[in-house]
């Protein structure tokens, strides 16, 4: 199933050609065998450069720029928009050897890391100093900090701490021509001219190669209160979000909504996940607060949820009493891979304003019925206007990737939503980008791409096709 | 005094020439007398265009672009870096007639305003719906939302809610050639290509004219706890910041430090401000938390401060018990104009990492002694790495603007600080920008300026001189 799915979305087999062998040889001479590796792959470049310093990245880009040799920057290679795939004759450029944690600065609450540092490793180094790197999602063990910044990663704490962009204080980037631009700012306020780090955050490696990053850290929370709530209707979900946000004084860190098709399948009979609340509710909401006073926070969490029940916003609730109970709740929410057991599926990541969500989901369900497609699972970081949908078909022969994609993205466009909330555009959403961005916006973006990467050697065909760039 | 000070920092008298009269006439014909006003001014353009719609802004820019007629975008005209001054033959472009609050969206907690809306008006409209626009500073009654966004304004709640950049979800901007780019996103997550709103936030009107903005709102806090604390040494100031940040679970909204020369002058005998704490301490810190549970928050605020005293981080404290007591504390911190009574002064706005601040201030004091300059007052948003310094001379004849500026900015450079924390660069810090930004960074910025404004008609000579642009 998965193989077939990927075959439909990769470009490698159709278009692949070899990188320029002279460039590869030149790089091998200059950087040594350690930095030029061959590792055959179905989707990613077979020849991967592995520099060990910013200067080596600069050398690589100078040579590739002169030769017109394109590169795919590689982080943890677990992105969900195929931004790390080969599209033509690219070399890979992996930052995996540049994984140092250069500093955890407890006075200023910052950390400085090389881009190839694994997110979880960075988070653990912060935690050792009693600090929190507030970026967390399923791929924490493979994603790199550089990849997180390049894709503006989101995850499980966005409602409280924002996305990757919001925690980057400084960065170092190598431009397409090899110029090293070092902006390793550690200060919270810095209005000295254009905030050029913003240009590279979320640009998916198409404007420059991020080599080092300064991240803002926060005090590590001392209390964590987690609950699963049952809610009777969508209107109450919205009211509950506002109620909690207004009554937890900025400590609300998760508001994860599961539609019953998600919750009931994951906790079905025979599943490894026990159902903490009975099936049959309209919505299930996982909420969490992060505080500083364990006893008082637990009491106030219970009070605030009790009041929500009295108001009828919540019909049933389970509060966790231990870390293992908390883990069990999160494992339900995080076990998205389980849906691959249903049949061929596509996981989507979109955003919508909250008042449109219910009607949007109902439109999608109607469309699925029309297509006779049976899998439609909805969940999301609702506090961040972010919905995930899993669409597919229990009958593999009737699975139609294009039809499902068109159904979904046409609806997103109609509801003025965004075709990418947190996964980025990469290859897989490129064709649908104009549904969320006007031609004036796209032209401006392409102008930026042309200014910073005139030969289109940095992650070409991601976000914009070479044709789009040539035509703008 | 002030006149002399301003005369030293303005460029108008030296360089001023008249705007192109044919362009002015053409605009008058097209837009009407209401939109083309003459209002003589010593520093700002005498002829000010006052469009009433984005389309009119676009028309103006098309005509000015074709004619090479430069413009100074004008918001509240209370910026502190002279970004609103005339430098050559510019027309003014005031957004004051575009002041509508288009929407306060309580479901998504956003507000949509035209750029000319006064900050305080916007904040009050949010408050009427129980929501908070968390951007506040002294000039709230004159600053416009568009100006705040164009300068990435900071202020009194940055430690909790971030700067203007952090609350902008979407914007509409008119480019130099008149192209309208509408990116009025209302969603918290939106990773659809480059986040181009970031390019214009903080660009001080040099890359485009911001016409409309979507701002993120927050639940209005229900409790506010404020105290003035005396602290014995700078090391304890840093520890106190971390103690409070770690024990108030994200509710800390102000950590304003006053060195004794600030506090003791403002609360001196005969001043309108009473001294809530006796003179003689090394530092005075105004702290505030914003919470959701008045009773519990007051109790926990007192507990956390009590523990700070037990640890020796705080030597004396006054907690406010009423809104008028709270106002009295903030009036001490905000009464910066009082220092103009001392003699000619220059207010500075810089940022530094916290471990360098004490030594930096001591270097500045030594330098002031060498210059025989007697006024050196220090205060700042310490939680945001932002120091304000007021330097001057009680003897007006010995006041040497250039020497004080050089002393200060040379030190900032030596300590790897930023010459602008929150005020921007404008005209007044332009010459010192290279102290905080490398040539590679500056070249990249100028490249952006040339791409978006090839004829240099948008706020020319701000951030970068025309010469710098021509030479890059």
Domain boundary residue, one of A281, A316, A334: A334
Task: Note whether residue A425 is domain-resident.
Answer: yes
Q: B72: which strand partners?
A: B92
What average pLDDT does this structure show over A360-379? Answer: 97
d(CA B140, CA A221): 34
Element (H, E) at A291: strand A283-291
Please give the model's pTM, rounded to 2 decimal places.
Answer: 0.97
Q: Pick the closest to residue B74 from B166, B142, B160, B155 (CA basis).
A: B142
Same domain, A302 and A280: yes
Shortest alpha-carbon distance between residue A397 and chain B (Å):
32
Task: Note whether residue A87 is domain-resident.
Answer: yes
Task: Note whether residue A210 is domain-resident.
Answer: no
Chain A 194-233, CB below 8 Å of chain B: which residues?
Answer: 194-196, 198-199, 201-203, 207, 218-223
Same domain, B319 and B353: no
Checking if the pLDDT of A321 tops 60, the result is yes
Would you state the pLDDT for residue B2?
42
Please, which pLDDT band fits residue A15 given cuts at 50, 70 and 90? low
Q: B222 to chain A: which residues are within 8 Å by CB?
A: 246
Same domain, A346 and A410: yes
Residue B267 belongs to domain spanning: 223-334
Domain boundary residue, one of B312, B334, B356: B334
- The pLDDT > 70 percentage for chain B reads 97
Task: State chain B's mean pLDDT as an integer.
Answer: 95
d(CA A158, CA B57): 36
Checking if the pLDDT of A438 tops 90, the result is yes
Task: Note whether residue A149 is domain-resident.
Answer: no
Q: Which two tokens mark B406?
A: 């050089």
CB–CB contact A437 B192 (8 Å): yes
Please, which pLDDT band fits residue B12 given cuts at 50, 70 and 90? low
Shortest alpha-carbon distance between residue A291 and chain B (Å):
5
ipTM, two decimals: 0.96
Residue of B nearest to A178 (CA): B440
pLDDT tens for A234-267 read 999 999 999 999 999 989 999 999 999 999 999 9
Same domain, B375 and B449: no
Same domain, A298 and A367: no
What average pLDDT does this structure show over B181-198? Answer: 97
Task: State chain A's mean pLDDT as an integer.
Answer: 95
Same domain, A341 and A330: no
Q: A351 to chain B: which residues are within 8 Å by CB?
A: 187-190
Q: A379: which strand partners?
A: A258, A388
pLDDT tens for A380-420 read 999 999 999 999 999 999 999 999 999 999 999 999 999 99
Chain A 331-370, CB below 8 Å of chain B: which residues?
Answer: 351-355
Checking if the pLDDT of B3 tops 50, the result is no
Would you state the pLDDT for residue A390?
98
Residue that is written with structure tokens 């702290």 in the block: B287
Would you state the pLDDT for residue B14?
58
Judged by a CB distance cut-off of 8 A, whether residue A423 touches chain B is yes
Checking if the pLDDT of A13 tops 80, the result is no
Judge contact between B314 and B230, C-beta under 8 A: yes
pLDDT tens for B63-76 read 999 999 999 999 99
Same domain, B341 and B319: no
Task: Note whether residue A136 is domain-resident.
Answer: no
Question: Nearest by CB to B198, which of A179, A198, A442?
Answer: A198
pLDDT tens for B419-448 read 999 999 999 999 999 999 999 999 999 999
Task: Note whether residue A227 is domain-resident.
Answer: yes
Checking if the pLDDT of A6 tops 70, the result is no
Checking if the pLDDT of B5 tops 70, the result is no
Shortest alpha-carbon distance between residue A233 and chain B (Å):
16
Please, which pLDDT band fits residue A73 given cuts at 50, 70 and 90? very high
How many Cβ atoms are within 10 Å of B371's Cβ, its own excluded?
16
Q: A94: which strand partners?
A: A74
Checking if the pLDDT of B221 tops 60, the result is yes
Checking if the pLDDT of B326 tops 70, the result is yes
Chain A 287-306, CB below 8 Å of chain B: which residues?
Answer: 290-293, 296-297, 300
Would you state the pLDDT for residue B148?
98
What 3-state class would DSSP assign to A241? Answer: helix
A70: domain CATH number? Answer: 3.30.43.10
Domain boundary residue, one of B301, B334, B367: B334
CB–CB contact A448 B183 (8 Å): no
Same domain, B107 and B163: yes
Element (H, E) at A357: helix A354-370
Same domain, B83 and B158: no
d(CA B368, CA B1): 20
Task: Note whether residue A408 is domain-resident.
Answer: yes
Same domain, B240 and B294: yes
Please, which pLDDT band fits residue B16 given cuts at 50, 70 and 90? confident
Please, which pLDDT band fits residue A137 given cuts at 50, 70 and 90? very high
Same domain, A367 and A328: no
**Contact pairs from chain A to chain B, CB under 8 Å:** 267
Residue of A nearest to B238 (CA): A107
Judged by a CB distance cut-off of 8 A, whether residue B163 touches chain A is yes
d(CA A71, CA A89): 8
CB–CB contact A198 B199 (8 Å): yes
Task: Note whether residue A204 is domain-resident.
Answer: no
How many Cβ atoms are within 10 Å of A1's Cβ, its own excluded?
14
Q: How many distinct structural domains can be found in chain B?
A: 5
Same domain, A424 and A446: no
């Amino acid at each position: 199933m998965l193989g077939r799915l990927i075959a439909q979305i990769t470009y490698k087999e159709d278009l692949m050609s070899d990188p320029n062998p002279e460039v590869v040889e030149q790089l091998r001479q200059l950087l040594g065998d350690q930095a030029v590796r061959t590792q055959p792959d179905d989707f990613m470049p077979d020849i991967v450069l592995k520099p060990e310093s910013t200067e080596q990245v600069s050398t690589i880009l100078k040579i590739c720029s002169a030769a017109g040799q394109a590169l795919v920057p590689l982080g943890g290679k677990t992105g969900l928009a195929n931004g790390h795939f080969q599209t033509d004759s690219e070399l890979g450029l992996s930052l995996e050897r540049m994984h140092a944690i250069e500093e955890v600065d407890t006075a200023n609450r910052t950390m400085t890391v090389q881009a190839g540092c694994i997110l979880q490793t960075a988070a653990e180094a912060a935690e050792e100093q009693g600090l929190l790197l507030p970026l967390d999602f399923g791929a924490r063990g493979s994603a790199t900090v550089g990849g997180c910044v390049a894709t503006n990663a989101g995850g499980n704490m966005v409602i409280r701490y924002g996305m990757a962009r919001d925690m980057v204080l400084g960065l170092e980037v190598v431009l397409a021509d090899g110029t090293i631009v070092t902006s390793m700012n550690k200060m919270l306020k810095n209005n000295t001219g254009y905030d050029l780090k913003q240009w590279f955050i979320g640009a998916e490696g198409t404007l420059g190669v991020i080599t080092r990053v300064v991240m803002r850290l926060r005090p590590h929370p001392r209390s964590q209160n987690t609950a699963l709530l049952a809610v009777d209707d969508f209107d109450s979900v919205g009211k509950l979000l506002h109620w909690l946000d207004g009554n937890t004084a900025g400590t609300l860190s998760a508001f994860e909504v599961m539609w019953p098709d998600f919750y009931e399948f994951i906790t079905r009979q025979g599943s490894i996940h026990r159902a903490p609340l009975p099936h049959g509710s309209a919505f299930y909401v996982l909420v969490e607060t992060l505080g500083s006073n364990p006893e008082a926070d637990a009491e106030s969490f219970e009070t605030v949820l009790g009041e929500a029940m009295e108001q009828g916003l919540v019909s049933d609730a389970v509060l966790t009493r231990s870390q293992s109970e908390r883990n069990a709740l999160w494992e339900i929410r995080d076990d998205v891979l389980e849906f691959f057991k249903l049949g061929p599926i596509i996981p989507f990541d979109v955003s919508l304003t909250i008042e449109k969500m219910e009607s949007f989901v109902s439109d999608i369900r109607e469309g699925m019925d029309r297509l006779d497609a049976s899998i439609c699972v909805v969940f999301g970081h609702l506090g961040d206007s972010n919905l995930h949908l899993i669409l597919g078909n229990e009958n593999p022969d009737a699975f139609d990737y294009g039809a499902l994609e068109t159904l979904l993205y046409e609806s997103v466009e109609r509801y003025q939503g965004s075709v990418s909330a947190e996964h980025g555009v990469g290859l897989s959403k490129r064709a649908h980008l104009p549904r969320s961005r006007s031609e004036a916006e796209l032209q401006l973006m392409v102008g930026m791409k042309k200014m910073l990467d005139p030969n289109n050697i940095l992650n070409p065909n991601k976000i914009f096709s070479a044709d789009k760039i040539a035509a703008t």
